């Protein structure tokens, strides 16, 4: 009897050991690489979670920032699994004020592609050439309207940055460096937007002052397509940042140009300009010295800055090439609750106010508008495009695609999936080459859905979806057109006539249009 029991125990122990070894060395699941064996518990709970939650805890649309349905859509898209939903919507659309409805057309100009998988690999370039209006030597048309938002090496692990950069290369989108400079993890083929924050990481001298020569060197040594001056971010405007000493590894120190193992502080304000006029001078200086388009990233609060900026652009001809508007609902590695919850307007409200200020001065066609703040979901993105976005940025949705489970521990350095941590053991769980494919799949699915919705609205490209194609529900019995909600005049929200013509040409040359069944003999007569 004892021998049999010992035999069983030995067999069980060796099975457990085999599972542990397999978990440790498999590449698909970061959680299992980091938490062999016990990580399976999460998958078990995830598998039965919807059923349990349905009766006990939360519904599919209750969790935040991203609901279960939204996360399931991102995960399934990233794995190229079935991302459809059965039975019909479980959103409470009839009773949710502010719910957007996209208005399809019955006989649209653009004929939708018919096969479900059509447009999976669609090319979806930006409808504007960034920097063209100001004659920048390196003006360019971004190849993708969906791009990766700023997240620094420091807030994310090196492996996460590498996965995003490789994913950017696979999906032909741009990868914003965030304000932490360029590291070796950024050099895997993805083209970059170099972000310049208040600490001038990656382009500063030993005393922390901005250094133009360093900027030119860093830009020349990497595939940088544009510069983005960070004024603020939706989740924490007017706040600086601190990367605590234990996180400042040799690699982070090298990318940022700061001493290793010491607290790394980002001030709240820039030292190179002190008002809107000197900001514009600096924009022109950077553009002249590097040849690159130069933009700004900002959250929206008080509107004085935007009035002043557009007045000066109109009067002097100086100007930013792109404006990235980040919504107050946007993400961060770490911030005080009052800032994440209450400071700065949510995306739609903030964006519409800023866009209108540009449009009222006739400047909206010269500047590319980029939106951020949970826009990595097709419904939110479509409203963004209708309001005048030329491109959208995705941050947390890209994190989900590379394995983030919304544990919301990014500020503790204990991220269980290796995404937002500098802990080498946890980061090891995230295998960049595998996750790169996932994030690329997710970006491509976003583009496909955007094209399909654009075609349903009768146009060839999401940038051509107008405010007339979206209504905002006021409840069960009334709706208001988007242009009325945000006070848009006719034509606002669209690129110039020339840009519209060119993007239609690019879309129809590159992609076959949809078809119907052959006409019956009587219809053909
Ligand atoms: C972990 C993390 C790090 C971030 N780091 C930066 C940064 O360095 N610079 C910046 O401008 N925004 C930063 N952001 C904000 C994002 O770029 C983005 O604007 C915001 O999260 C909204 O996009 P989302 O809703 O798709 O996440 C960060 C966000 C997260 C989640
Ligand atoms: S800590 Fe949680 S929310 Fe943050 S990246 Fe990791 S899994 Fe995602």
Question: How many other C-beta atoms are found inside a 10 Å radius of the C-beta of residue 93?
Answer: 12
Residue 44 gets which letter from DSSP?
A: H
Q: Any alpha helices (H) in 145-271, and if so which ranges?
A: 158-171, 212-220, 250-256
**Going by C-beta distance under 8 Å and a sequence separation of 6 or more, which residues neighbour residue 7?**
none
If you take atom 10 of ligand 1, which residue's CA is the nearest one? 150
Which residues' Cβ are closer than 6 Å to ligand 1?
Answer: 149-152, 155-156, 178-179, 195, 230, 233-234, 297, 326, 330-333, 372-374, 376, 394-397, 410, 420
d(CA 276, CA 298): 13
Distance in angstroms (rounded) separating the CA atoms of residues 10 and 333: 45
Give Cβ neighbours of residue 411 (< 8 Å, ≥ 6 apart).
Answer: 333, 334
Rounded Cα–Cα distance for residues 126 and 391 (Å): 7
Question: Strands, E, within 36-155: which ranges?
Answer: 100-102, 146-148
Number of Cβ atoms within 10 Å of the Cβ of 370: 30
Contact of 138 with 131, CB cutoff 8 Å: yes
Instruction: Note down pLDDT in tens along the chain; length 525 residues.
Output: 577 778 888 888 888 899 999 999 998 888 899 999 988 888 888 776 655 664 566 677 778 899 999 999 999 999 999 999 988 998 889 889 999 999 999 988 887 776 666 677 899 999 999 999 999 999 999 999 999 999 999 999 999 999 999 999 999 999 999 999 999 999 999 999 999 999 999 999 999 999 999 999 999 999 999 999 999 999 999 888 888 888 899 999 999 999 999 999 899 999 999 999 999 999 999 999 999 999 999 999 999 999 999 999 999 999 999 999 999 999 999 899 999 999 999 999 999 999 999 999 999 999 999 999 999 999 999 999 999 999 999 999 999 999 999 989 899 999 999 999 999 999 999 999 999 999 999 999 999 999 999 999 999 999 999 999 999 999 889 999 999 999 999 989 999 999 999 999 999 876 566 667 777 877 655
- Residue 458, Ramachandran bin (φ over 0: left; ψ between -120 and 50: alpha; else beta): left
Specify whether the CB–CB gap between 150 and 422 falls below 8 A. Answer: no
Which alpha helices (H) appear in 257-336, and where do they start and end?
Answer: 276-290, 304-316
Distance separating alpha carbons of residues 392 and 254, to the nearest angstrom:
30
Closest ligand to the CA of 406? 2
Rg for the chain (alpha carbons), in Å? 24
State which H helix or E strand residue 230 sits in.
Answer: strand 224-230
Q: Are strands 100-102 and 470-473 parallel, antiparallel or unpaired?
A: antiparallel
Residue 122 CA to ligand 2 centre (angstroms):
30
Which atom, in ligand 2's list, is nearest to the CA of 406? 3
For ligand 2, atom 8, the nearest C-alpha belongs to 404
């Amino acid at each position: 009897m004892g021998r049999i029991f010992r035999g069983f125990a030995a067999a069980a122990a060796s099975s457990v050991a085999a599972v542990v070894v397999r978990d440790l060395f498999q590449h698909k699941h970061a959680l299992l690489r980091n938490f062999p064996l016990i990580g399976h518990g999460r998958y078990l709970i995830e598998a039965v979670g919807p059923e349990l939650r349905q009766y006990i805890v939360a519904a599919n649309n209750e969790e935040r920032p991203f609901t279960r349905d939204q996360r399931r859509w991102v995960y399934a898209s990233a794995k190229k699994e079935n991302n459809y939903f059965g039975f019909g919507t479980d959103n409470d659309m009839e009773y949710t004020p502010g719910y957007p409805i996209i208005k399809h057309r019955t006989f649209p100009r653009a004929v939708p592609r018919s096969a479900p998988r059509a447009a999976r690999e669609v090319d979806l370039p930006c409808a504007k050439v960034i920097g063209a209006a100001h004659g920048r030597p390196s003006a360019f048309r971004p190849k993708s309207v969906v791009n990766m938002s700023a997240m620094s090496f420091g807030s994310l692990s090196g492996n996460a940055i590498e996965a995003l950069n490789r994913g950017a290369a696979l999906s032909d989108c741009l990868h914003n460096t965030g304000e932490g400079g360029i590291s070796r993890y950024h050099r895997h083929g993805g083209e970059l937007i170099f972000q310049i924050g208040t600490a001038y990481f990656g382009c500063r001298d030993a005393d922390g002052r901005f250094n133009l020569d360093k900027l030119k060197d860093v830009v020349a040594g990497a595939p940088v397509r544009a510069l983005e001056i960070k004024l603020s971010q939706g989740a924490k405007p007017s706040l600086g940042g601190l990367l605590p000493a234990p996180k400042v590894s040799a690699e982070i120190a090298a990318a940022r140009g700061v001493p290793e193992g010491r607290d790394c502080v980002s001030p709240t304000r820039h030292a190179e300009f002190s008002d809107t006029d000197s900001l514009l001078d600096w924009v022109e200086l950077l553009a002249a010295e590097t040849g690159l388009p130069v933009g700004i990233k900002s959250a929206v609060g008080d509107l004085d800055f935007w009035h002043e900026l557009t007045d000066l652009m109109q009067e002097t001809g100086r100007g930013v090439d792109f404006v990235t508007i980040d919504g107050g609902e946007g993400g961060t590695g770490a911030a005080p609750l009052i800032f994440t919850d209450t400071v700065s307007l949510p995306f739609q409200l903030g964006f519409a106010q800023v866009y209108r200020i540009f449009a009222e001065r006739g400047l909206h066609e010269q500047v590319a508008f980029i939106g951020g703040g949970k826009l990595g979901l097709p419904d939110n993105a479509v409203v963004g495009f209708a309001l005048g976005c030329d491109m959208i940025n995705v941050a947390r949705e890209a994190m989900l695609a590379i394995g983030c489970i919304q544990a919301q521990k990014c500020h503790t350095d204990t991220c269980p999936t290796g995404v937002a941590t500098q802990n080498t053991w946890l980061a090891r769980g995230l295998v960049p080459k595998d996750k790169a494919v996932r994030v690329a799949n997710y970006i491509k699915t976003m583009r496909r859905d955007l094209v399909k919705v654009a075609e349903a609205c009768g146009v060839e490209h999401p940038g051509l979806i107008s405010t007339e194609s979206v209504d905002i529900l006021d409840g069960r019995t009334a709706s208001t057109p988007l242009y009325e909600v945000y006070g848009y005049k006719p034509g606002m929200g669209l690129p110039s006539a020339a840009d519209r013509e060119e993007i239609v040409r690019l879309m129809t040359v590159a992609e076959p249009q949809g078809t119907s069944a052959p006409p019956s003999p009587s219809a053909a007569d």
